[in-house]
Amino acid sequence: MPTSVLERYRAAFPDGNVDAAVLSEKFMKSRLDFADWYDNKSEDEQELIDEISDRTSFIIDEDEYDEFIDVLDGYGIFDASQFEDAFAGEWEGTGERIYAEFSEDLIEQCGYSIEQFIANCIDWELVWYSALRDAYYVIEFKGNTYFFCTY
């Protein structure tokens, strides 16, 4: 039975593309701990964690996943399918500026063409508050902002 972190890591990830001997012990232990945590989740929880991992960049460790999932529960998102249907984006930072950036990005993604000469005249924060805020709910989590469709 492997006893060192390196031996445990090599046993847990035998076909890894990285030479485990060059990884720090702290990294290997963190990855092993994450694998143990993940394996102890139900299949539905694993699918939700996978979906969060695929669609976000700032939620990275076990505690953050558990906390974020608890927050999602409060908004009626209990599984990967619900998350996939509702998730509209993740933005680094919080506050009014993020609402404006989300609004501008959403309008661009929808294919609306705004002539360049008037683009800087648009108050994107006002667009958020007058046209979008009822269609989305916002979760501010660990210094970042997550948008979800309300429908």
Q: What is the pLDDT of residues 61-98, one digit of tens each?
A: 999 999 999 999 999 999 999 999 999 999 999 999 99
pLDDT at 91: 97
Report pLDDT digits (tens) over 133-148: 999 999 999 999 999 9
Task: Show the tokens assigned to 110.
Answer: 């929808």
Distance CA 114, CA 119 (A): 6
pLDDT number for residue 114: 83
**Closest to 48 (Cα-Cα) out of 93, 80, 89, 6:** 80
Question: Which is it for the CA torsion 5, 6, 12, 16, positive or negative?
Answer: positive
Question: pTM of the predicted model, to two decimals?
Answer: 0.84
